[in-house]
Amino acid sequence: MSSLRTSRTRLVAAAATAVLATLSLSACNNGTGTQDEGSGSSTSPSSAAASATTASNSPAPSGSSAGKAPSAGTDSSGSGSAGGTGSAGGSTTTTARTSAPKAPASSGTPVTCEGSATKTVAAPLTRPVNHMLLSVTNTGSKSCYLYGYPVVRFGEAQAVPPVIEDSQPQAVVTLAPGESGYASVNLSATDGSGANGYTAKSLTVYFQGRSGNGSVGAGAHPSLPAKGVYVDDSLKVTYWQQSMDDAVSW
């Protein structure tokens, strides 16, 4: 019994000695006398530096804003710069509105219509025969009055054709900017009774003032057909009319 107890004591002592030897060996390996049992592997300083360099050179993940400057024309919040409205992605959208062209508006007190602020067109008519229509369009910025009747001069004629008195309208013709007035010219007698007929190649139209004595402003020089127009002593004109139908009815 005594020998059995002695054997057990020796075994215990041997085991304790082996444990102490193992602990001493571990302490010598890490230089601290203790062992980090919670770490499965260790990382050297050089490995850590390499990892940091690799991370700094790697591109940012898709959708990340790290290291990305705001787009031009936007602030850091992504809203558009002054004059625009911010949209997704920092872009701005500006809608341009253009007004449609408009005819010039009349301003101020109406003036007398004359050649410098009007456009005059002379058009021979087939019905009524031996007639010509004069159209005057206001090209100015103010309304103008077409007083009396057109004072016409064909070629080098000196006499002023008379007016058809019955054609006088009830009111003075007024043209807003862009509007037209009309008068017709009876060029020659339809029955051939006219005398001193000739073919005219040019025409000048003068405009009367309020008093009806003489002309005012610049005259107009509407073109005639290349072959000219035939006129005789029966030449006469109508008063200025507001409508074309009234002008050609005489």
Average pLDDT over residues 185-193: 94
Give tens-digit pLDDT for 122-164: 999 999 999 999 999 999 999 999 999 999 999 988 888 999 9
CA distance 248 to 243: 9
Per the prediction, the chain carries an average pLDDT of 73
CA dihedral 66, 71, 73, 75 (to 10 degrees): -10
The share of the chain scoring above pLDDT 90, in percent, equals 53
Residue 79 has pLDDT above 80, yes or no: no
| pLDDT at position 112 | 97
Pairing of strands 111-112, 144-154: parallel
Residue 88 has pLDDT above 60, yes or no: no
| pLDDT at position 213 | 85
| pLDDT at position 80 | 41
The answer to whether 189 and 130 have CB atoms below 8 angstroms apart is yes
Per the listing, tokens 């057109």 go with 150
Give whole-number Cα distances, 41 to 36, 54, 55, 85, 136, in Å: 10, 21, 21, 56, 104
pTM as predicted? 0.58
Residue 186 has pLDDT above 80, yes or no: yes
- Confidence band for 84, pLDDT divided at 50, 70 and 90: very low
| pLDDT at position 131 | 97
| pLDDT at position 158 | 85
Give whole-number Cα distances, 185 to 98, 108, 147, 235, in Å: 45, 33, 16, 7
Higher confidence at residue 105 or residue 41? 105
| pLDDT at position 17 | 52
Residue 2 has pLDDT above 60, yes or no: no
Phi-psi region of 63 (alpha: psi -120 to 50; beta: other; left: phi over 0): left
The share of the chain scoring above pLDDT 70, in percent, equals 57
Higher confidence at residue 37 or residue 195? 195
CA distance 118 to 122: 13
Residue 45 has pLDDT above 60, yes or no: no
Count Cβ atoms within 10 A of the Cβ of residue 42 and give its class: 0-12 exposed, 13-18 middle, 19 or more buried: exposed
Average pLDDT over residues 78-107: 44
Average pLDDT over residues 175-192: 96
Higher confidence at residue 136 or residue 81? 136
Residue 243 has pLDDT above 60, yes or no: yes
Average pLDDT over residues 181-198: 94
**How many residues are present in the chain?**
250
Give tens-digit pLDDT for 220-242: 999 999 999 999 999 999 999 99
